[in-house]
């Protein structure tokens, strides 16, 4: 008789998942012992996440969507990176990547569910998403490398639309939104822990602002913490901004399972620690702005004193670190010289991943992006194709210019509508004085606005190879925000 015969269906699934994790962990321990920390933490948080699904007894489409949310931050993890490296290039690899299959599975499961609700979607968000989809297709058709552009469009825009729609249609009550946010917070902890561990192995534990500055200067070099972040440390800053407010508010939530709250507290500490270690002034500025906004909302709506204390403490830590004399001086001294920045070498240091961003480099990149955009009006050069037209800077370092140069006027207007919707929902929480408010709506709005704000200041990358973690996190945030608005209309 099978050892699983006497178990309930949910218990069988849990036993199978645990067995797979145990086998993978033992194999990694033997073959790649340096990677076992990541899998170990992932197993621990996965156990808690599956326990939450069992306690809630959610229906299968919600459980699949929640599982997709959990895996999204894990797309940075080593096993997924190894799988992606062996994927076929182009549209085939994009469609069969983990970041593509998960949103499709969630949307298919929800679409066949009799309780799915696709109605009452916000007009501004719907219009913005529709324009982005049209712009992605049009720019890909006009692009020099059409197949590559279509693959990038699918990963950067198609998959987050699928996941956002699954979240929006499957949400029946505010606790479903809380579940989805809990899952991305749980799934993020392994990557953050490994990133911090990689930093400590490379540079030791920093004990002063001077130590942070010295390490930041060294981060110009590749093959340090960047290898764990699947890109440069600027990409890791974007991940932290997307998780900052959800992690804090989940940790302080009054309806949250104690184990989830504990992991959310650990994720909060890890996010703040990584922001300090990366020492990006634009990311810290965006984080402080979001935290101050959340504090104002909680203050006006008689929020949790514990939550406001945590937010105030996090803001104070980030501000104190950023205004330390050694750190302030690093913003001017520890950057590539303008000569090096314009040398044309693709191997030159990337100022987004090192101590202090080079203002001269960024301004030059933005001027170049404007030239590229004007030369390829009205459709743009195609999603993910910008580096072919500006190999020196490789990116516009500005979300509006990136949208304009890659997706033309239609794409720029689409991004504008999406950003306007998120900002408007965030502003309503500040303007309206209600004694009852939705913690989940604030967390979702804060996640989206933080990423878009930093993207406007410094730019961001929606996809890295077949990894599209940031774009999927935006899809989760926007889906939760739209679902919260729909629920609010009937309350």
pLDDT in tens, 337-382: 444 434 443 334 443 333 344 567 778 888 888 888 888 889 999 9
Highest mean pLDDT among 155-164, 191-200, 224-233, 315-324: 155-164
Is the pLDDT confidence value at 6 over 60?
no
Is the pLDDT confidence value at 115 over 70?
yes
Number of domains in the chain: 1
pLDDT at position 90, please? Answer: 63
Q: Tell me the mean pLDDT in the region 244-264.
A: 90
**Domain for residue 312, yes or no?**
yes
**Domain for residue 22, yes or no?**
no
Q: Please indicate whether residue 429 or residue 33 has the higher confidence score (pLDDT).
A: 429
Q: Which residues of 230-253 are buried (b: 16+ CB within 10 A; e: fewer)?
A: bbbbbbbbbbbbbbbbbbbbbbbb
pLDDT at position 17, please? Answer: 72
Q: Please indicate whether residue 323 or residue 220 has the higher confidence score (pLDDT).
A: 323
Q: Tell me the mean pLDDT in the region 23-35.
A: 74
What dihedral angle (degrees, nearest 10) is formed by the CA atoms of 274, 275, 279, 285? 180
pLDDT at position 437, please? Answer: 59
Q: What is the DSSP string of 164-190?
A: HHHHHHH--SHHHHHHHHHHHHHHHHH
pLDDT, one tens digit per residue, over 139-152 is 999 888 898 899 89
Is the pLDDT confidence value at 7 over 50?
no
Q: In the numeric block, which tokens belong to residue 462?
A: 């929606």
Is the pLDDT confidence value at 30 over 80?
no
pLDDT at position 312, please? Answer: 93
Is residue 452 very low, low, confident or very high in pLDDT (cuts 50, 70, 90)? very high
* 322 and 277 Cβ atoms separated by less than 8 Å: no
Lowest mean pLDDT among 172-181, 409-418, 452-461: 452-461
Is residue 84 very low, low, confident or very high in pLDDT (cuts 50, 70, 90)? low
**Domain for residue 389, yes or no?**
yes
Is the pLDDT confidence value at 216 over 50?
yes
Q: Which residues of 448-483 are buried (b: 16+ CB within 10 A; e: fewer)?
A: bbbbbbbbbbbbbbbbbbbbbbbbbbbbbbbbbbbb
CA torsion sign, 369 to 370 to 375 to 380? positive
Q: Please indicate whether residue 231 or residue 425 has the higher confidence score (pLDDT).
A: 425
**Domain for residue 344, yes or no?**
no
Q: Tell me the mean pLDDT in the region 386-406.
A: 86
Range of the domain at 295: 29-335+351-489
Lowest mean pLDDT among 171-180, 263-272, 327-336, 446-455: 327-336
**Domain for residue 24, yes or no?**
no
């Amino acid at each position: 008789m099978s050892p699983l015969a006497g178990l309930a269906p949910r218990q069988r699934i849990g036993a199978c998942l645990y067995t797979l994790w145990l086998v993978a962990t033992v194999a990694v321990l033997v073959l790649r012992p340096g990677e076992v920390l990541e899998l170990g933490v992932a197993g621990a948080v996965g156990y808690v996440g599956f326990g939450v699904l069992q306690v809630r007894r959610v229906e299968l489409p919600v459980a699949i969507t929640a599982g997709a949310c959990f895996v999204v931050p894990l797309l940075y993890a080593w096993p997924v990176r190894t799988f992606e490296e062996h994927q076929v290039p182009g549209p085939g690899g994009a469609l069969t990547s983990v970041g593509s299959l998960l949103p499709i599975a969630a949307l298919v499961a929800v679409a066949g569910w009799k309780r799915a609700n696709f109605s009452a979607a916000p007009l501004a968000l719907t219009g913005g998403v529709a324009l982005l989809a049209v712009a992605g297709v049009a720019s890909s058709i006009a692009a020099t490398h059409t197949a590559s552009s279509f693959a990038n469009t699918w990963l950067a825009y198609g998959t987050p639309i699928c996941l956002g729609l699954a979240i929006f249609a499957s949400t029946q009550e505010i606790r479903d939104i809380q579940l989805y946010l809990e899952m991305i917070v749980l799934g993020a902890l392994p990557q953050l822990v490994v990133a911090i561990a990689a930093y400590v192995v490379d540079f030791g534990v920093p004990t002063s602002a001077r130590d942070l500055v010295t390490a930041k200067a060294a981060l110009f070099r590749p093959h340090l913490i960047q290898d764990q972040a699947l890109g440069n440390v600027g990409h890791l800053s974007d991940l932290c901004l997307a998780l900052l407010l959800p992690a804090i508010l989940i940790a302080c939530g009054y309806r949250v399972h104690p184990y989830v709250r504990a992991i959310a507290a650990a994720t909060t500490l890890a996010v703040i620690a990584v922001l300090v270690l990366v020492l990006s002034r634009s990311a810290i500025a965006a984080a402080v702005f979001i935290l101050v906004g959340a504090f104002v909302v909680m203050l006006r709506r008689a929020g949790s004193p514990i939550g406001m204390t945590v937010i105030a403490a996090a803001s104070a830590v980030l501000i104190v670190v950023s205004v330390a004399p050694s750190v302030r001086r690093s913003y001017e001294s520890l950057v590539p010289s303008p000569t090096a920045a314009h040398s044309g070498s693709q191997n030159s240091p990337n100022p987004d991943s090192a101590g202090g961003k080079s203002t001269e480099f960024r301004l030059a990149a933005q001027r170049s992006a404007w030239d590229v955009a004007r030369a390829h009006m009205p459709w743009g050069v195609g999603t993910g194709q910008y580096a072919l037209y500006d190999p020196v800077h490789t990116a516009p370092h500005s979300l509006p210019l990136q949208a304009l140069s890659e997706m033309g006027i239609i794409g720029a207007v689409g991004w504008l509508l999406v950003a306007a919707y998120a900002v408007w929902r965030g502003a309503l929480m500040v303007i309206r004085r209600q004694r009852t408010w939705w913690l989940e709506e604030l967390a979702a709005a804060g996640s989206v606005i933080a990423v878009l704000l930093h993207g406007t200041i410094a730019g961001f990358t929606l996809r890295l190879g077949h990894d599209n973690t940031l774009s999927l996190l935006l899809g989760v945030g926007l889906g939760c925000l739209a679902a919260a608005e729909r629920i609010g209309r009937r309350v």
